[in-house]
Amino acid sequence: MVEKIDIEKLSRFFKGLLDPTRLKMIILLMDKGEMCVNKIVKALNIRELAVSQQLQILIDSGIARKRKEGQFVRYFISNDFIRKLIESTEEYLTGGN
């Protein structure tokens, strides 16, 4: 089993979850759906450059995806697994296991 695991891919995925700002962005995108960078900046009160850098890490990790719509780029959570993972982890941490 262990020899079949793609360690690099798994490491990139968990890197996306390891930063409090990225976690806030994940939860925001889970709640709001698709969002442009400027909306994320306003919602989280952080600089645009920081948002863009963190979004790129989320994309690289497979957690988020982007979709171009005219001149706008909208970001969203890549699939329902992420939502289930976050919700299950929160439940586990609050003693609801």
Q: What is the pTM of this model?
A: 0.87
Taking only the tens place, the pLDDT of each residue in 12-26 is: 899 899 999 999 999
User: Left, alpha or beta for 43 (phi > 0: left; psi -120 to 50: alpha)?
Assistant: alpha
- The CATH topology of domain 2-93 is Arc Repressor Mutant, subunit A (1.10.10)
pLDDT value of residue 2? 63
pLDDT digits (tens, 9 = 90+) for 38-59: 999 999 999 999 999 999 999 9
